Each structure stands twice: as C-alpha cells, then as structure tokens.
A and B are shown apart, each in its own frame.
Chain A
Amino acid sequence: MLKWIRIPLSRAENVTHSVSGKIKRNGVFGMIEVQNLTKSYGDKHAVNDISFTVNSGEILGFLGPNGAGKSTTMNILTGYISSTSGVAKIDGYDILENPTEAKKKVGYLPEHPPLYLDMTVDAYLEFVYHLKKVELPMKSHIANICKRVRIEEVRHRLIKNLSKGYKQRVGLAQALIGNPPVLILDEPTVGLDPKQIIEIRNLIKELGEEHTVILSSHILSEVQAICDRVIVINQGVLVADGTADDLSKKMTDDFRYIVRIEGPEGEVLRLLRAITNMVEVQPLGQKEPGVYEYSLEAAPGTDVRRELFKRLVERNYPLLGLRSTEMTLEDIFLQLTDPGAHSKMGGEE
C-alpha cells in the first residue's frame, strides 16, 4: 500500500521527474494553504473569508468575473499586499511571518507584467536573476527559460519595442527564473491573439508537470482546458471548488438551445410549443429571408432534440441550425449559488 506522507520539496521534485508527470498519491501535500483569508478596504471586502489548499503538482484555476477578488488573492499570496486577516502559506512558510522564504518559492506573473521597458530582455532577466538571488548557473538558466517560452529571437531587443505577446512571454520568463516550485499567473492570456493564447496555454500545461500552478481567468473554457481543479469566486466569496470535470458537468446540462428554422414564424412557434417537456419557446426574429430563430428551454434532464427533428420533418420545415446556448459566467454563478435557478434564468432571457 502506498503511504500518505508529507515529504520535503526536494524529494517531491525527484518523484515528479522520475514518475514522469504529476506527483500523485505518495507525494501529495498542500503546497499552498489559504485559511480564512480576508482583505477589506474600509467596510468593503475585496476578499471575504476564503479558504483552500493547492496540492503540489496541481494546476488550479481561479475563475471569476473582473473585480471578483482574483488578483487581490494572488497579490496576498505573493506578499505584494497583506491580508486583513487569515493565513496564507507557501510550502509551509507563512507569507507574513516568513516572507523571504515564502517569496523564494513563488514565481509571479501579475495581470500587468512588471517589465522595465527601457531594458533589453537579457538585461531584464539577469536583473531578475540577481534580484531573486538564484544560485543556478546564470547563462544556461536564462537561456533555457528563453528557449522554453520562445523569446530567444528577441533577447537583445528593448522590451518597449516588443509586441504584447512577447511582453507577456517575457513576463512569464521572469516568473520562471529561479525555477520556483509555485507559479502564480494572473490572467496570463488576456490581450493575446488566438494563436498566442493557444501557445501560452500549452506552455502552462507543460509547466504544470513540474510546478504547482495557480492561474486566474474569467474565461470558463480556458480554465477547463488547462486546469485540474477549479475554484470559482465571485464578489470576494468562494462559490465553488472542484475538479474541472465536476464543473463542466454542472455547466453542460443540455436543456437550452437556439434553433434556426425555415418556415412561417407563427406556425413554427405553435409547433415548437407543442413538443413534450418544452418549458419555454421564444422567438428571436428573422435571421435570413423566411428563416427565424427561436430559443428553446426544455425541462432539465430531458432531451427534446429528437422530437423536435421529427415534428419539423413531418411539416417539412427545414432545420438549419441547432446549438446549445453557452452559459455566461454570470449564469454559472447563479447556478452555483442557487441550484434552483435553472428555470429562472431562462425566463429572464
């Protein structure tokens, strides 16, 4: 039988490398521990009584709309600002009581990458190397990181002349210097083009094999694509904590659709409303000549698609499109905070 023991980091890293991939079972321990964290500005709580633990080797997604308290939590974890109350520990070191040790364990990419625009990429990374008092061989360490985040071709250029995508990657390179066991990345893909987003996501996935990663985002699909586990926060409060699969199961209840049908609007409406288990049908207007869109809401747990198809065939109204409506982040919060909110949401739209 495998034993559950808390082993020191160096050993855990060995495990990581030897077992190819993530530390599971016997190396798992809380790399980041957050207990009852609160940050207040006056009587406003930016972060309100949040507790969670991130195990070593995990990629944790921090999901929430803008202003939910994601950045504030990250700033507290990295020691940039202090919490009003509560405890944050990195690898057992309290960020307030033992800041130097805790900070050595963390690479941080803030929302706005902290770049000195008037330095070259090389000079900047060397500065960060010295700043973090890294003891690895400097030249090869920096060269490796540059290779990894693919900024080798811009190493001698001034940071201010780089594109947004490169700046973001230089920011990521900065976080990787010193090879810290914990990476905290605040919205790493914001402002990038789709190709760059995919590149950065893949890179983060790769990094997740050796590092414990916290990543924040306000995009659900991004978090689902990268993270093992997801924490959802809204207005400073922790709303959900579970695996990405759990969350996506909750989110992908197929009961709301948008359909596009060719045929007279009134008649099609009547036809749609007659379908068994149909809760609500709303016309969305004409989209093409003679073609109308409708939003459908079925009773949860039922599937109306087959019956819909049959009835339309009977009347010879071609079905030109059928898609499930994507949930917005706001819908998700509603659903997470209020399990009975399904029908209410449909009604509002």
Chain B
Amino acid sequence: MFAIFRREMSNYFTSPLAYVFLAVFYFFSGLFFHYVLYLGTTDITYVFSNLFIVLILIIPLLTMRLLSEEKKQKTDQLLLTSPVSLTGLVMGKFLAALCMYAIALSVTVVYAVIIAGYATPQWMVVVGNIFGAFILGAALISIGLFVSALTESQMVAAIGSFAVMMLILMIDNVAGMFSNATVASVISSLSFLSRYNDMTTGILSVSSVLFFVSAVAIFNFLTVRVLEKRRWS
C-alpha cells in the first residue's frame, strides 16, 4: 500500500497535474479570501462555503487517472499479481489523492493566521471549517476513484465523476421536485451540500461527520468490489 501511495505522489508531481490542481485551488481560495479581507470580517466561512463548486471542478483531476490508466496501460497486471491486497491497492491510491488535497487545503491555515494578525478569529469555527472541507474532499475523492475504476479512459472518468458530483451538488433541488414528503426528505438527507454548509457555519454534528466518513467507506468498498469483479468475469 505504501509503495502505491509513494508512486502516486511522485507521479502527481512529475506530471503537470499536481501543479494545475494546486494552482486552481490556491487561486480560487485566494480569491474568496480576498473578499473576506475586503469585507473586513474575521469570518473565514465565506472561503469554505464557496469551495464546494471548486472542488467539484478539480477533484476529478486528481482521481481520473488513478485506476483507469492502470487498466489502459495494463500495469494493473503488475499490481494485481503482486502480493498486495485489493484493499491495500485502493487505499494507497485514495490516500495519495487525499494527501494532495490536504496539501492544497493547508493553505487555508495561512489565511486563518493572516486574519489572526488583525483580530482574533473564532478558532473553533476555523477548525470546524477546515475539518469539514477535509472530509467533504475525502468523500468526493472516493467517488472519483470509484468512477475511475469503472472505465479505461481518463476523460470518461473525469467527466463521469464531474457529472456525479454535480448531481450531488444539485440533490436539494432534485428533492424539491418530489411532492411526496417522505421521498423528498430521504433524497435531501443525502445532500452533501446542506451537511457541508452546516459545518461551515460552525455546527460540527456527529451525524454529518459519520455521513461523510460512511460515504468514503462505501465508495472505497465499491471500488474494491469493481476490481474484484473484473477478475471473476
């Protein structure tokens, strides 16, 4: 697992991918932070509440290649015939993407420190925000990884994960289309956005944390199953 993690990390930085990802992330988060400073507030929440849409655009960049390219280049033959479990393989890939994302997200700590230079921010809100963005990203990465396992083409993986994430973003609107209250509430309970927004305002509920953690677990599990199934078909 560690070997795979290391290879993916070095691969991110030997290709332009990591730089594009970090540049786009830093640009938009910097732009949002600029507004925070412009408005003269210590509330960093604005940065995070706008981050979701940026993540939808750039997380597929991190995950599109991870499994699709292995299949296309037939390097999966090396991975699957080496003494590494499928879970180890998937976790190695997942953690590499998560680590890249953590590197990107760490810039928000700098923003908090800058604010702290002028006034005292609400540290718990800041910590809650960063943590919320981290587990939201983790959930999106595991979805992207899952889509990447389904195809041989990076492009299809990128557009596929983008579509899935867009749908997830719009799920509250979808719920509104149902007149049946039960159906609507079931669908809206799947909303990533409303749970994430709760977290950006400083409400860190156990159920939201569990929601994202289970999303990570479920999609990583499904990814393992997809790889397993391919060997049996």
Shortest C-beta distance, B64 to chain A (Å), equals: 16
- Which 10 pairs across A and B sit closest by C-beta, in order of nearness? A130-B3, A114-B78, A78-B81, A131-B3, A114-B75, A103-B83, A110-B77, A100-B83, A114-B77, A112-B74
Q: Which residues of B are found within 8 Å of A101, using beta-carbon distances?
A: 83
The 22 listed contacts between A and B (C-beta, < 8 Å) are A79-B80, A79-B81, A80-B77, A80-B80, A81-B232, A82-B231, A106-B81, A112-B77, A114-B74, A115-B73, A116-B7, A116-B11, A116-B73, A118-B11, A123-B10, A127-B3, A127-B7, A130-B2, A130-B3, A131-B4, A131-B78, A131-B82
Q: Which B residues are CB-close (under 8 A) to A106?
A: 81
| Chain A contacts with B in 331-346, Cβ cutoff 8 A | none
Q: How far is the CB of A162 from chain B (nearest CB, A)?
A: 15
Structural contact, B81 and A128, CB atoms closer than 8 A: no
Instruction: List residues of chain B with CB within 8 A of the CB of A127.
Output: 3, 6-7
A17 within 8 A of B: no
- Interface 0/1 of A40-83, CB less than 8 Å to B: 01000000000000000000000000000000000100111110
Chain B residues within 8 Å of A, Cβ to Cβ: 2-4, 6-7, 10-11, 14-15, 73-85, 231-233
Interface of B is mostly: helix
Distance in angstroms between the alpha carbons of A108 and B77 in the assembled complex: 9
A132 within 8 Å of B (CB atoms): yes
B82 engages A132 (CB within 8 Å): yes
**CB of A212 within 8 A of chain B?**
no
Q: Are B83 and A104 in contact (CB under 8 A)?
A: yes
Instruction: Point out the residues of chain B lying under 8 angstroms from A130, CB to CB.
Output: 2-3, 6
Chain A residues with CB under 8 A of B83: 99-101, 103-104, 132-133
* Residue-wise interface mask of A (91-135) relative to B, using a CB-CB cutoff of 8 A (1 in contact, 0 not): 000000001110110101010101111110001000110111100
Q: A80-B77, A108-B78 are in contact. List 6 more A-B contacts (CB 8 A).
A: A80-B231, A110-B74, A114-B73, A118-B14, A123-B10, A131-B79
**How many angstroms from the CA of A215 to the CA of B206 in the assembled complex?**
57
A128 to chain B, nearest CB (A): 7
In the complex, the answer to whether A131 meets B84 with C-beta atoms within 8 Å is yes
**Residues of A contacting B73 with CB < 8 Å?**
114-117
**Chain B residues closer than 8 Å to A114, beta-carbon distance:** 73-79
A174 within 8 A of B: yes
Question: B5 — nearest CB in chain A belongs to which residue?
Answer: A130
User: Nearest Cβ distance between residue B86 and chain A, in whole angstroms?
Assistant: 10
- Report how far A331 CA is from B10 CA in the complex, Å: 52
How far is A174 from B78 in the complex, measured between Cα atoms in Å?
9
Q: Which residues of B contact A116 (CB under 8 A)?
A: 7, 11, 73, 75
Minimum Cβ distance to chain A for residue B16 (Å) = 12
